[in-house]
């Protein structure tokens, strides 16, 4: 069996088991209403985590994601409320800025040979600082477009509401799956994660691929910022603090190897859903501090890293030679 599938199956099994246990305690959690909220509440995290999946698959890390989300919400708020642009125009500008930002980080990582950890850490400070310079205070967004979007939803059987941002997240995951597994760019991402030296010798355009990976991650962080803005109707420089770490956790819990090369975008979806499940459970319980979410996620993360070591560090089983001659 494909080695990428094993950790994914483990995550899926744990998710199903945890969901069944939660339903046994709180039968209401089985409704599509809860599911709808699940998708809405985690939309920005899910979208950012798709970008993070590509980065980690290639063997890198992107610490700037949360800061880019925060910056984007402020930029959109400024453009809509102070400049007076239509939100759609503001979204386009914000996405373009985020894309350029990511391209710059990717170029620095490749051409200056600086580890992605350092470059994106600098990017994180830069984006967070720029957001504060734009506006240190929270800016509320009042616009008819925001009202319309937040009132729009698809009704699911059972009365659950699939919001616009929830749909956006699902579409981003679908696109991510297609890009990762069905395009040359996707195969290059895995190639870089497998071995950059081999990839270069095999003709992978390493420079272009690296720049594109970080461009993709930042653009999706920008899109997550758009979703966050729609979700909270406000722009604030301290929005989405630490979301990059939640995204990394979702990716790793979803079965992607932190050292790159192995993993599936679909796994990240389950990773995000598992985090959402823990949050929802704690809300249902009502007596637990919300910090328990972090503790459970931490424990899960630790467990999955152990699991990955067991699954991956074991010497690969070598097949016997099957010669036809």
Residue ranges in contact with other proteins by CB under 8 A: 2-3, 178, 182-184, 187-188, 190-191, 193-195, 197-199, 201-204, 261-262, 316-325
- Complex with other proteins: residue 211 or 221, whichever CB lies closer: 211
CA dihedral defined by 153, 158, 159, 164, rounded to 10 degrees?
-20
CB of 200 to other proteins, least distance (A): 9
Q: CB of residue 251 vs other proteins: minimum separation in angstroms?
A: 16
Other CB atoms within 10 Å distance of the CB of residue 302: 10
List all residues 6 or more positions away from 64 whose beta carbon is below 8 Å from its beta carbon: 101, 105, 120, 121, 123, 124, 126, 127, 218, 221, 244
Indicate the residue among 113 and 318 with the shorter CB distance to other proteins: 318
CB-nearer residue toward other proteins: 112 or 322: 322
**Axis-axis angle for helices 265-285, 5-25 (nearest 10):** 20
CB 307, min distance to other proteins, A = 18
Nearer to other proteins, 187 or 232 (CB): 187
CB of 4 vs other proteins, minimal distance in Å: 8
Q: Nearer to other proteins by C-beta: 151 or 320? A: 320
- CA–CA dist 160, 325 (Å, integer): 61
- Which tokens sit at 75? 């930029």
**Nearest distance from C-beta of residue 107 to other proteins, angstroms:** 21
- Identify the CA nearest to 299 among candidates 245, 253, 239, 230: 253
């Amino acid at each position: 069996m494909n080695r990428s599938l094993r950790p994914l199956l483990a995550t899926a099994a744990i998710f199903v088991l945890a969901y069944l246990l939660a339903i046994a305690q709180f039968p209401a959690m089985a409704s599509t209403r809860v599911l709808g909220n699940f998708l809405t509440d985690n939309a920005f995290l899910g979208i950012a985590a798709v970008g993070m999946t590509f980065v980690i698959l290639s063997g890198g890390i992107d610490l700037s994601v949360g800061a880019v989300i925060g910056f984007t919400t402020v930029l959109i708020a400024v453009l809509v409320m102070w400049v007076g642009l239509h939100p759609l125009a503001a979204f386009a500008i914000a996405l373009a800025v985020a894309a350029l930002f990511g391209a710059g980080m990717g170029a620095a990582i490749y051409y200056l040979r600086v580890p992605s950890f350092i470059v994106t850490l600098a990017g994180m400070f830069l984006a967070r600082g720029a957001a504060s310079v734009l506006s240190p205070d929270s800016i509320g967004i009042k616009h008819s477009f925001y009202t319309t979007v937040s009132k729009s939803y698809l009704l699911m059987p059972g009365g659950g509401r699939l919001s616009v941002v929830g749909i956006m997240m699902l579409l981003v995951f679908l696109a991510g799956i297609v890009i990762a597994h069905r395009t040359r760019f996707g195969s290059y991402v895995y190639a870089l994660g497998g071995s950059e030296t081999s990839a270069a010798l095999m003709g992978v355009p390493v420079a272009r691929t690296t720049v594109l990976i970080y461009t993709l991650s930042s653009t999706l962080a920008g899109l997550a910022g758009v979703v966050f803005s729609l979700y909270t109707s406000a722009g604030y420089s301290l929005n989405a603090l630490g979301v990059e770490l939640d995204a990394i956790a979702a990716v790793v819990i979803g079965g992607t190897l932190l050292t790159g090369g192995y993993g599936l975008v679909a796994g990240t979806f389950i990773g995000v859903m598992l985090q959402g499940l823990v949050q929802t459970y704690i809300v249902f319980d009502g007596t637990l501090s919300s910090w328990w979410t972090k503790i459970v996620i931490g424990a899960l993360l630790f467990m999955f890293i152990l699991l990955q070591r067991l699954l991956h560090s074991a010497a690969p089983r070598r097949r016997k030679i099957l010669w036809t001659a």
